[in-house]
Structure 1
Amino acid sequence: MKNWLFNKTNKFFNGLYAFFMLLTLYFVIISANFTLGDTVTKKTLGTRTTKVTVIFLAFMLTLGLTLWGSPRSRQFLQKIFFKAACITVPFCLLLVCSWQIFFILTVHPAIGFDPQALHTALRDPSASELRGYFSLNQNNLFLLLVMHKLSVIFGTDSWVFFDFVSLILTDLSVLFNLTTLALIARKKVALGAYLQILWLALFPMIIVPYSDTWVLPFVSCFILCYVASFHSKLPTYLKLGAAISGGLCVGVIYFIKPSAIIPVIAVFLVEGLFLLCQKPTSWLTFSLGVLFLLGGIANSFIMLDHKLNTQTYIKIQASRALPPLHFISIGMTGDGGYDANEALIMAKLPTKTQKEAYAKKNIARQLKQKGFWGYLKFLFFKHQRNTSDGTFAWQQEGNFFTTKKPTNSNFLAEAVYAQGKYSADFRYIAQCWWLLIILLLGLGCHFKQTDPIVQMLKLTLIGGFLYLLLFEGGRSRYMIQFLPSLLILATLSADNAKNWLQRRFAWLK
């Protein structure tokens, strides 16, 4: 019975994962970001691609044909990027870090939407509109306190300073991811590094100091601690230290971005499932690891919750907080993303009971209007909006930058401002990277693999997809929080994807 349940559950997870990833792959391929020439939709960043995209495509085509037709070229690149990876990887990491620093120093505009409220509150937390904002959006309160502490320590609250904090946290996430890969499959560290280096080079979100990027290192650290504690050959004292560190990360993750704890849920589900058939090599070490992990979680929750409840930096009305039902309601309205009208209605309702009653009423109204098949159709296209954009909805938020045009026009500014000359080139190239990642995940689905780490990463992505379907979504910015799991799994899936392609295109040899 246990074996039957174990096999059936894993088969279900694999099937659901394959369904979501192949559907995502389809949406990525048909994305408007791949439009050459004039933009065909208002949702597409930029007005038209330029010769930059033509040069990029010509380079990629030339490189592909050269590698396909020249074994010597393949051997040469293999020698540089993989056999000499101990030199090449650090050099490329240093190069991309230099690129990020140059980018921040060149482009550092004031940001709008939610980060603007955080930044403004650093200078005037007494403003009534800010007290109202944080009373409603208490999920951003912890982030505000962290930013305030940093501004006091370093004596500045400039956008450039917080851009550099975002850069450090994002790059720290990459280092944690690579360490995790070193524990899982050391031979794949180089490939993982190159995939993440490409991501960093095409990730302008480092100039948006907000929870999307600030939560990344803590998610990556939790995954690393999980692997080190339960699936490594490290000494017992290091395993237990990793377990309590992972637990401490959970509280930080929850108070920065609650939805980012999905990997934590996946860990407990997968480990519970694998206990049915695979007993740990040492029950004592495993049990202590679980206790230390739970102890770390409890300790971090108690400390951080107490900090929030006793903070005096900004006065809020705790009873005005938006209930979870609101985010389900707003996730069913319009395109499933942020809806200013619904947010305004919620802000006007004074009590939690009234907010929940309105949310329930709207949920029932949306279900009735859409009907069963209509709601499935809505979810189908919502998943497209959630996952298809390789720019992670760059410039898609209302009031993304507080200024419409760059003060100093240069190539980088023209690439990241919404109507910049090269912004369409940026979204095209970023979409190519996203297609590569989703190809690795979609074609390397691991249908028969039942490795607990792989299953945990797959279940994290399944949970992420389901969360964005049920709650507020509608744009791919919310996928950023799942990038650690996604990038690690893409690296582990590479061999399966390569084998699949080799079998399908063997006739070309």
Structure 2
Amino acid sequence: MKNKIRDFILKTIAVIFSILFAIVLFNTIFFNKTIGINYKIPVIIIFTIIVYGIILFLYYIYTKKEMKFLDYSPKKIYYFIFIAIIFIVQFIIAKLVYGEYGWDCGEIIKDSYLFTNNGYFNFPYYAQYPNNIGIFLIINKVLEISKNFIDIKIIENCFLSSIVFNIIMVDLASLFTFLTIKKVSGNKSAYLSLMFILPLMIFSPYINIPYTDTISIMFPILILYIYICIKELPKEKFQKYLLALLMGIVTVVGTLLKPTVIIMPIAIFIISILNINKVGLKNIAYTLILCVFFIVGVGFSYLGYSVQKEKFFNELISEEMSYDLEISYMHFLMMGMQEKPNDTKEDGKNQTLYGAYNGTDVENTNSIKGYKEKQNYNLKIVKERLKGFGIVGYIKFLYNKANWILSDGTFYYGYEGTWLVNGYSNKSEPAKRIQKFITVTTKEYKNITANIMQIAWIIISIGLVFSISKEKNEYIDIGKLAIIGMVLFLLLFEGRARYLINHIPIFILVGTYGLKNSLNKILLTLEHK
């Protein structure tokens, strides 16, 4: 009976997931709500068919012509060489396109610059937004190390140092994405995933934006990778318990950088409970020991964070200041329930923002002193907005919000507040040529960079649709549940496509699995004709 319930729940998740992304795929192609680019539907369709056709042709050659070169499992030295080459290329690009950014990204790096050089910074900002304390502490450490190699009294160099760290985190995420897919789906799928890892991670314009989205990108996929390694080891191996400890540490560090990281361990817990069997119940003592090690890792990691936080903020932010300034989760729920016209006219057919940052909402919340008082005000506005929407209106709003967020393969690149302050730092001619490919107002970005990312996202969406399968795969189920959790979070709270970035590896994991399913189905259909 229990197995039937479990199978029903997992089947329901799989069906909902595929239906959701079938709608996303259709809207991404035909009713795209990206504000910055007016994608040409025929061009998108033609190039998507061409790219998918090339993948199908190569897959056919591999499976039918017995060309087994993709079965080769790289040695560790080859991983190192490949990543080293990629990093050198990324570093050269960073030197050509770095600059001083605005919005929250710039706020944190400027504060780290001020603290490192002068001993003061805009500490009330962290009383207001304590979720950014984690990234502030990390960037401070980055600058402490960087001052041995570069003059960090120049603020542009602080941005460059942070970008290099950001690149390292993205590259580690790319490596663990490849290794996780290799474990879950085999070498063939791992090599296939490079078609998405390269444009959406390694060479994404976001590698030059050192903020929590990309700096936290490694954590969800690393948590899943550690879990897989734990499952593979026999219960007698002590390494299994050390990995559980590490998983706890990684979970806390990632969550302190970006709260959405917690979605992955929650998804793992839910799927693990659903998949528990008689053997698992017999070994419950070992499972409990694993949980103890995980909890110890969580406690150890949070203790380290608390010590560092107290070192920087204890004398600066009083309990009274924290109470007066801190913005609660209710504010972000409130802000996630409004739509407004875009402040500037862009090229996209849609110029409405759904549940995005709203300056008026922020001003209204900040005008009220006291955490609970702010919360009560936010709750009042939430109720008013729900009443204003009505049931049908709110569902329609959520549909539009989902379309706006999930149809953007560029992940809202270039449209946050004051994106770049005073232009790029490198004024050389070679730099200017490269900068055109990551500047949202140029034809090079709109016609080449954005379209490459968008087509990669569409192909992944095809894979997500076809990820439904009779074959049981616990890790794909975890990935699907994590993605559903991420989507629900963004629908309820303040959101935009940028917030999906730290789960791109999970999208690639599930998308590659589904893409292989779709290719197999096509080849099987062709065989029977």
Q: Does 1:413 align with 2:416?
A: no
The structural deviation recorded for 1:196 is 1.6
Distance 1:506 1:313 in 2: 69
Distance 1:275 1:72 in 2: 40
Q: Which residue of 2 aligns with 1:36?
A: none
Q: Does 1:386 align with 2:408?
A: no
Select 2:102's aligned residue among 112, 120, 125: 112
Residue type of the partner of 1:318?
S
Q: 1:321 to 1:277 in 2, by over 3 A?
A: farther
CA contact (8 A) 2:219 2:261 kept: no
The structural deviation recorded for 1:31 is 5.7
Q: 1:328 to 1:273 in 2, by over 3 A?
A: same
Q: Which residue of 2 aligns with 1:179?
A: 179
Q: Which residue of 2 aligns with 1:483?
A: 504
The structural deviation recorded for 1:166 is 0.4
Q: Which residue of 2 aligns with 1:325?
A: 330
Q: 1:115 to 1:127 in 2, by over 3 A?
A: farther
Structure 2, unaligned runs of 5 or more: 340-353
Distance 2:31 2:412 in 1: 12
CA contact (8 A) 1:3 1:277 kept: no
Distance 2:145 2:205 in 1: 26
Greater CA deviation, 232-241 or 7-16? 232-241
Q: 1:398 to 1:249 in 2, by over 3 A?
A: same
CA contact (8 A) 1:131 1:315 kept: yes
Aligned with 2:421: secondary structure? Answer: coil
Q: Which residue of 1 aligns with 2:126?
A: 134
Select 2:384's aligned residue among 359, 365, 372: 365
Q: Which residue of 2 aligns with 1:165?
A: 165
Q: Which residue of 1 aligns with 2:22?
A: 22
Select 1:440's aligned residue among 463, 466, 472: 463
Q: 1:460 to 1:68 in 2, by over 3 A?
A: closer
Select 1:431's aligned residue among 435, 454, 463: 454
CA contact (8 A) 1:329 1:363 kept: yes
Q: 1:365 to 1:434 in 2, by over 3 A?
A: same
CA contact (8 A) 1:169 1:213 kept: yes
Structure 1, unaligned runs of 5 or more: 34-40
Distance 1:68 1:449 in 2: 24
CA contact (8 A) 1:67 1:73 kept: no
The structural deviation recorded for 1:63 is 9.8
Aligned pairs (5 A) from 1:82-93: 82-83=70-71, 86=74, 93=83
Residue type of the partner of 2:511?
A
CA contact (8 A) 1:89 1:190 kept: no
Q: Which residue of 2 aligns with 1:209?
A: 210
Distance 2:60 2:26 in 1: 32
Q: Deviations over 1:402-454 (max 9, x none)?
A: 246784463321111121231112111110111111111112223x3443222
Residue type of the partner of 1:137?
Y
Distance 2:62 2:266 in 1: 45
Aligned with 1:350: secondary structure? Answer: coil
Distance 1:450 1:70 in 2: 23
Q: Does 1:154 align with 2:146?
A: yes
CA contact (8 A) 2:199 2:452 kept: no
CA contact (8 A) 2:100 2:423 kept: no
CA contact (8 A) 1:183 1:228 kept: no
Residue type of the partner of 1:496?
N
The structural deviation recorded for 1:274 is 1.3
Q: 1:349 to 1:5 in 2, by over 3 A?
A: same
The structural deviation recorded for 1:90 is 7.2
Residue type of the partner of 1:150?
V
CA contact (8 A) 2:6 2:275 kept: yes
Q: Which residue of 2 aligns with 1:195?
A: 196
Q: Deviations over 1:449-504 (max 9, x none)?
A: 4432221111101100100000111x210111212222222233332122334456
Aligned with 1:261: secondary structure? Answer: helix
Aligned with 1:255: secondary structure? Answer: helix
Q: 1:289 to 1:372 in 2, by over 3 A?
A: same
